Amino acid sequence: MTHTQTHAPDFSGLWIPLITPFKNGDVDHPALTKLVKHYASCGIAGFVACGSTGEAAALSEDEQLAVLKTILAGASQLPVIMGLSGYHLPQTLDWVRTLRQFAVAGLLVPAPHYIRPSQAGLLHWFTALADASASPLLIYDIPYRTGVHLYLETLLKLADHPNISGIKDCGGDAAKTLALIADGRLQVLAGEDAQTFATVAQGGAGAIAASAHLNTQTFAQVIAQLRSDNLAKARELWKPLPQHISAMYAQPNPACIKAELARQGWICNELRAPMMAAG
């Protein structure tokens, strides 16, 4: 049965896809709590738990739930989106049902990875998950991780679903981005950090930006200024950020972000293999 929202959710603004701190191989929950409380005061819209930046692929289901609980506990009044992925629909549906017990603002869901289904298969995948979820879905369009492209026509069909509310746009297709913004049914969030300015300036809702673990308030202010039509101020604030973004992605994410947070004393500089720590 389709879950209908009583009011439209709002995913606008800057969302931090939180890293998962590790210490001696285990999730470092005290460090995670400190990070959540820090970012909650930086003008962000909310958090994404267990995204690719959070190394979710290297976390067990129990660890993912524990991370989610820690973030929810520390986030105060800020909303939390839960990331999930998979390619086995019954198992993924089970996970969506497990997540119903948590007060998450949304689920961030990519296409099933590796198996490369047809557009009809993608429609079935997202529709089934949206039907099963107690929270609205944000589609995570990231073909270089999943191996499959979501066509504009498919996304516009999914926009009809009452429980699909937005898209994290890493599709690499500027025309598709503009068409989704013009359509207006899905809130469009930049997923490539360097596209934040262009996406929001053209009417997008915001960004889910890993590099905003640093310079967080500046990223948040850029989005706020653009959404208030203060283009000159937004340009001025944005000017140093592309260089910062490049530096944060010099090695596979989140290695550089973790190295910088470790240098500042927030976390240990530790990732889970096969991800390697940056110097």
Please identify which of the residues 34, 157, 168, 249 carries the catalytic annotation: 168
Whether 34 sits among the annotated catalytic residues: the reply is no
- Note whether 80 and 46 are within 8 A (CB): yes
Taking alpha carbons only, the member of 133, 268, 189 closest to residue 17 is 189
Answer yes or no: 39 catalytic: no
* Radius of gyration of the chain from its Cα atoms, rounded to whole angstroms: 18
Alpha-carbon distance of 167 to 90, in angstroms, equals: 23
Q: Which residues contact 185 (CB under 8 A, 6 or more apart)?
A: 156, 159, 160
**Closest of 126, 134, 85 to residue 106, by C-alpha:** 134
Q: Which of 34, 114, 140, 233 is catalytic?
A: 140
114-130 b/e with 16+ CB inside 10 Å = b? Answer: eeebeeeebbebbbebb
DSSP element (H, E) containing 171: none
Helices (H), 48-195: 61-74, 89-98, 119-132, 143-146, 152-158, 174-183
Taking CA atoms, 163 is separated from 6, 99, 261, in Å, by: 10, 15, 36
Q: CB neighbours (10 Å) of residue 73?
A: 12
**Positions marked catalytic:** 140, 168
